Amino acid sequence: MGEAIIVKGQFGLIRFKPLLKPDYTLHVEIKAGIDPTKTTKKKRKSRTIKKDILNIAEMQGAEAALLKLYELRKEGKVGMRHFYNLRKILLEMMEEVGG
């Protein structure tokens, strides 16, 4: 709820009504694609990745963990669904610290 993932060419046009609350954060990512040679690499188990990312967040902060998560995604070591779930957790951690 509250997050949309728009994949080019699969959903057509999507229109949003203006959001009523002025206290929201908008995160936008634009990707040209992922190198298919990198996605064929063996992926690490999701529990291990989550544990590692949360450990980094605890020891070095959520921003460092977020950078590591983006690196793992770029290398094709974490799937999109798992990436978005972990990113959501880290962004919520950052909001708690900041707010």
Res 97: pLDDT: 77
Contact 87, 66 (CB under 8 A): yes
Asked if the model's pLDDT at residue 57 lies above 70, the reply is yes
Q: Where does the pLDDT of residue 1 fall: very low under 50, low under 70, confident under 90, or very high at 90 and above?
A: very low
Asked if the model's pLDDT at residue 23 lies above 80, the reply is no
Res 47: pLDDT: 73
Asked if the model's pLDDT at residue 36 lies above 70, the reply is no
Across 92-97, average pLDDT: 86
Mean pLDDT estimate for the chain: 76
